[in-house]
Amino acid sequence: MQTENKKRKKLLIIDSHALIHRAYHAVPPLTNSNGEPIGAVYGFAAILVSNIAKLKPDYLVACFDLPKPTLRHKKFADYKGTRPKAPDDLISQFALVRKFLNALEIPILEKEGYEADDAIGTVVEIMSKKHKEIENIVSTGDLDTLQLINSRTKILTPKRGISDPILYGKKELAEKFPDLIPEQVIDYKGLRGDSSDNIPGVPGVGEKTALKLINRFKNLENLYKEIEDKKTAKKILEDKVVGKAVFKKLTDNKDLAFFSRDLATIYRDAPINFNLKGAIWNPNPANIEQILIDFGFRSLVRRYQAISQGRELPKYNKQKTEKPENPSTSSEQQKPTDPPLHKASEDRQDSLF
């Protein structure tokens, strides 16, 4: 029988694709004893260790993108068209991360035609309807999933690189972005667009204008209802909500705004095979330790041992770093200290998306 003060169980949902990309840019190039690139795998493993240590999840699933075109590509051929091709030394590490997750006995969710975000959104939707007693935490490398926040779902993302994680619930989102609530994220993107995904938005509408409009009108439907009414349209210009030039761009690009919002909307009905019982996290510690040893991540072995035995994790000594056994920097092929985990080549957390 459950008691009122019993802690709510947690489901940790891993946005694998986003975290691998973030780890790749945050960790210096490393290779294992076979000469295989492994820096992104190390960074991914470090994030997962930290997540497990802080959250102590009862359930775990990992979501992946697949290399084939998605439903969004069918709607918009140039979707994500501005992204450079992933480098070979990154692509090769996805299989290693899958091997790592299999050793941890974490089920992988993916579906052709859908993105990892859609699998995540579908899991959140299922949990919100069938398992309301469980808290959902999405571990991701970007902020696209902020639209999924609700009373039982939070988003965990590194502030910079793969460190300093921020846990976004409704309260934290309101504190960081006071003009936005989770349901409005897609309306914001409909106006502002998203350059990283090549979602166009309304030309000439920047972040401040988009937030200003969403704050005043709440969503695209209300905005365009006001714009298309002569009396309220006049008041919008009189109140200088936007200037004449932006007003005209909004008027001329109504279809584009709604189309962009549609592209930015995470599907919550992807045909994935998710079963909560199958997501129970009860791994074999020996398997975990062995694969970490195979990858040369001995510092992470000790952290996993502490977690599996219910002990407090050892705190990092900033004055002293430890040398992993196998990985070496690709430039010198020497045994380095554990790679720094605080920097990334790109940090998008200071802006919305």
pLDDT in tens, 38-82: 999 999 998 998 888 778 899 999 999 999 999 999 999 999 999
Residue 208 and residue 342 in one domain: no
Distance CA 75, CA 61 (A): 29
Written as one letter, the residue type at 99 is K
Residue 276 and residue 260 in one domain: no
Handedness of CA 12, 16, 17, 19 (dihedral sign): positive
Across the range 262-283, mean pLDDT stands at 94
Across the range 93-115, mean pLDDT stands at 93
Helix then strand then coil, % of the chain, to nearest 5? 45, 10, 45
Residue 50 and residue 129 in one domain: yes
Residue 87 and residue 191 in one domain: no
Over residues 152-178, the pLDDT tens digits come to 999 999 888 877 889 999 988 888 877
- Show the domain range for 238: 184-264
CATH label of the domain that carries residue 233: 1.10.150.20
Total of domains in the chain? 2
Distance CA 339, CA 324 (A): 9
Residue 23 and residue 108 in one domain: yes
Residue 326 and residue 251 in one domain: no
Residues constituting the chain? 353
Residue 83 and residue 122 in one domain: yes
Q: What is the pTM of this model?
A: 0.86
User: Mean pLDDT across the chain, nearest whole number?
Assistant: 85
Q: What are the helix (H) ranges across 169-297?
A: 170-176, 185-192, 207-217, 220-227, 230-238, 244-252, 254-264, 285-295
Least confident of 26-30, 121-125, 288-292, 327-331: 327-331
CATH label of the domain that carries residue 34: 3.40.50.1010
